[in-house]
Structures are given as C-alpha cells and as structure tokens.
Amino acid sequence: MDSGNGSEDGTPWGRGDGQGDDDDNNRDWGLKDIPNDVEVLKRVWRNEKSAPEILAYESLLVERVQEQIANMEENILAAAESLDDMMLSIFEMDVNRLMFLLRAYLRVRLSKIDKFALHVMRTADLWDRLSPQEQEYASKFVDVLSKHMHDSVLGKLEKEYESMMKQAASSEENDMIVEPNLDTYVFCRSKTALGTFQLDDKGDETVDMMPNDLYILRYRPVRNLIETDRIELV
Amino acid sequence: MFGRTAAQLVREVNNDDQHIRRFNYDLFDKVIAEIQEHFQQVTTIMEKGQEENEDGQITSVDENYNGAVIHHQSILRNKRCLLAYMYHRANRLQRLRWQLGAVLPEDVKGLLHPSEKEFVKSYSEALSSYMTKLDIDLTVDITPPKDPYIQVRVLDNIGEVLLGDQSTSLVRNSIHFVKRSEAETLISQGLLEEFTG
C-alpha cells in the first residue's frame, strides 16, 4: 500500500499520479503504467459519457484535480514575470484543459441526474453513486419538477390520476418513472485478456476478450466489469 | 376527445427548434376538460355496471364495461400528452438556463405559464447552489478550449469591466484580447462577439 508520491518532473507544477490511495472510491489504476490525473480524468469522463446509467463518483480524483488546478494557477501567477508569453499561454492552456475535463465530467453526471432523477432516488445503489452535493441537487430537482407537474397538470386531474409515478392509482407498479436503458450497445476495450466472458444468462453467447481489441456489446453484461474497472468504455 | 386534442399539443412541441412558444392555454384547458368528461363517463358506466351486479350475479363481461376501459385509456393518453408537453417545455427552459445564465430575458418570460416561471426560478436556484458548493461554474467551457485567449469585439457600451486583474473600459466596436472564460459569460449575454478575421 504505497502512499502517493507526486513526481517532480521538471515542470513548474508537480503532476500528481493516480497511484496509491486505497480507498473504495479510488482504485488501483495499474502499477505498471502510472497515468497522471489528467489521463485518469479523461478516462473516467469517457466512461461516464458512454454509459447509459450513472457511474460511481470519483470523489478523491475530483478533489486531487481541484487541488492540482489551484496549484497550477498559483504557479502561473508566481512565474508570470519570469516566463515569456508563449510559455505562459502553454501553462494556461494546460489549466484550461484540466478545467474543461472536470467541468465536462460533472456536467455529464448532472445531465444523467436530470433525466433519471426519480429512478436514482428510489434505487439504493444508484443513490450511493452520487456525491453528497449531487444528492442534494437531485432531491431539490425532484421537488421542483414534481411541484411544477402538480401545479400545472396533476392537480387538475382526479385523485385516481394525480400521481407522477403511476399512470393511474390502479396501476400495479410505478410505471411512469424513466429508467436508463441498460441494454443499449456500448463500445468497450479491455487492457488485459479477460478470457471467455458470458454475455447472457443462458450461456449461449460468449465473447473472448482480448487485450486492446474494440468490442461492441450490450451494456448490461459488462456492467460489473466497468465497476471493477477491468474494461473501459470508448 | 379520445386523445386527439392532446395529440395536437404534443405536435406543437415536437419540433427541433430551440425557442419556446407561447403556452397554449386554450388547447391545454380543452384537454383538461376532456379528461373530466372521460372521467364522468367512466364513473357513470361503472355505476351502471354495479347496479346490474346487485340484481343477479353477472359473471360474464358486460359490454358496457368496455366503454369504461376506452375512457380510462383516453384519460391515460391525455395525461401522458399533457405531461409530455410540460416536460418538453421544462427541458427547453433548462437548456436556456445553461445557455443564457440565471436571468431569463423578458420576452421569454412572457410566453410562460406561471408554474413554469416558478420552475425556472427554483431550478436555477438548485443549479446555482450545486455549483457554489463545488466552487466551479459549470456553464462555461462548453466546448473544448482551443486557445486560452480570444479576440472579442464589443457590441454595446458597457463601460468599465473587470477582466482578469485589470479593468478595461468596453466601448462599442473596440476589440480586446481576453481570457476565454471571462469572455464566455459576456458573449452569452450578447454583449461581446468573437472577432474572427
């Protein structure tokens, strides 16, 4: 269990590496190659973009990235006089790149929360994947949306039809809640050979996962692999 | 009746353009009235059915009940169309919040149903509170950045504005070289435009 050591590689700011922390929110990104946080964030963002449902929140990564951005900006200000314009703009571009990635990651998650808010609130695993701020946002959003629907439409209907989650009080289950389609197809790739992998319960379809090959599969069977990080979505 | 008027409502929102049209109070109220009518029908049919049941135990499906099913389904259809109409408009409003910022232009506000105005306010609040908690503004930087600085031309006289650490006076038609993130908010408000060429 190493403690992360930021490697100073001669640039004005240290690049944090993603290795080391062993909490459940952060995983061992591979001891052989030590990607820096930018690569990790890029990968996490790509996964989140392609997955139909919301994935686990990388809270430690986000914290480190925010720290890194703050450090980089400080260093830029401190070094502003001693560097020429071109170097300065390169460093600024780097900060912008990192900020963009972070914002894009958070935006993708917000858009999924907006679409599937009711479903996320009612499913314990999905709820646990949200950060505390996202959870607060999600509950507020659900309240705002239900109030809007009630005031405009549902309040004017009879008791039987006034629920936002069920079509009619006589429906058996909450059939109006939107759920993400877990059977949609995604592109994925794995770094290591995963062997023969079963694609559905009956054992009819299997897929041999070779390293660095691109596959198009339904999302549902590869869900677990994404959680344990043996596959990445493209 | 039977969902036809509601279908018209849905057709109204089923277009690709970005603007929000005026809220169609007429069609909307008409659909609500139709729902009441359908519900009346359902209750009458069910009551009639009940009476006959008390006389002799009717075990076979009475023809009149089918009418109740049709009315019930029409109500569900109408409900779905109404909710879809409101939901699509709400989505467009959300998008406007991301593009234009916390204050909606007056002309858009005039097109909205009062409940939509509430929605816009509360949604904007929820979003801003989330962003302040994280201390990141998520509405800028929508496209991947190519250059840290861009050239902008001022469209309106704004006067002194704090850009970066210097305050510059923005006179109409003057060109400035500013940082992207600062220019973006002003661009989305329509006060600056990107200068190419």
Q: Is residue B140 part of a domain?
A: no
Q: Is residue B128 part of a domain?
A: yes
Q: Is residue B186 part of a domain?
A: yes
> What's the CATH fold of domain A3-144?
Methane Monooxygenase Hydroxylase; Chain G, domain 1 (1.20.58)
- Cβ contact A136–B35 (<8 Å): no
pLDDT at B159 over 50: yes
Q: Which residue in B13, B79, B93 has the most chain A C-beta atoms within 10 A of its own C-beta, making it the best mutation to test that interface? A: B79
Q: Hey, how many other C-beta atoms are within 10 angstroms of the C-beta on A134?
A: 23
Does B155 lie in the same domain as B61? no
CATH of the domain at B107: 1.20.58.1030
The pLDDT, as a whole number, for residue B59 is 47
Tell me the per-residue pLDDT of B124-147, one tens digit each, with 9 for 90 and over.
999 999 999 988 888 887 777 777
Residues of chain A contacting residue B133, judged by C-beta atoms under 8 Å apart: 133, 136
CB-based contact (8 Å) between A175 and chain B? no
The pLDDT, as a whole number, for residue B164 is 64
Q: What's chain B's average pLDDT?
A: 81
Domain extents in chain A:
3-144, 181-234
Last residue of a domain, one of B104, B134, B164: B134
Among candidates B39, B140, B141 on the partner chain, residue whose Cβ is nearest the Cβ of A158:
B39
Among candidates A140, A156, A161 on the partner chain, residue whose Cβ is nearest the Cβ of B75:
A161
Rounded to a whole number of angstroms, the distance from the CA of B147 to the nearest CA of chain A is 7
Q: Is residue B43 part of a domain?
A: yes
Q: Is residue B83 part of a domain?
A: yes
Number of structural domains chain B divides into: 2
Q: Is residue B142 part of a domain?
A: no
Q: Give the pair of three-digit tokens for residue A129.
A: 């994947």
Tell me the per-residue pLDDT of B17-33, one tens digit each, with 9 for 90 and over.
777 888 888 889 999 99
Q: How many CB pairs under 8 A join A and B?
A: 103
Show the domain range for B180.
Answer: 149-194
- Cβ contact A147–B118 (<8 Å): yes
Residues of chain B contacting residue A134, judged by C-beta atoms under 8 Å apart: 130
The pLDDT, as a whole number, for residue A111 is 92
Rounded to a whole number of angstroms, the distance from the CA of B171 to the nearest CA of chain A is 26
Last residue of a domain, one of B88, B107, B134: B134
Does B159 lie in the same domain as B66? no
Among candidates B87, B122, B148 on the partner chain, residue whose Cβ is nearest the Cβ of A89:
B148
Q: Is residue B21 part of a domain?
A: yes
Residues of chain A contacting residue B35, judged by C-beta atoms under 8 Å apart: 156-158, 161
Question: Could you write out the three-class secondary structure of chain B?
Answer: CCCHHHHHHHHHHCCCCCCCCCCCHHHHHHHHHHHHHHHHHHHHHHHHHHHHHHHCCCCCCCHHHHHHHHHHHHHHHHHHHHHHHHHHHHHHHHHHHHHHCCCCCHHHHCCCCHHHHHHHHHHHHHHHHHHHHHCCCCCCCCCCCCCCEEEEEECCCCEEEEECCEEEEECCCCEEEEEHHHHHHHHHCCCEEECCC
- Domain at A181-234, CATH class: alpha beta
Rounded to a whole number of angstroms, the distance from the CA of A57 to the nearest CA of chain B is 14
At B56, the pLDDT band (50, 70, 90 cuts) reads low
Q: Is residue B15 part of a domain?
A: yes
- Cβ contact B122–A144 (<8 Å): yes
Does B61 lie in the same domain as B8? yes
Does B99 lie in the same domain as B65? yes
CB-based contact (8 Å) between A38 and chain B? no
Does B117 lie in the same domain as B34? yes
CB-based contact (8 Å) between A171 and chain B? no
Mean pLDDT, each 10-residue run in order, chain A (234 residues): 39 41 44 66 91 90 90 84 77 86 92 91 90 93 92 84 81 82 87 72 69 84 80 82
What is the model's pTM?
0.79
Tell me the per-residue pLDDT of B95-125, one tens digit each, with 9 for 90 and over.
888 888 878 888 888 888 899 999 999 999 9
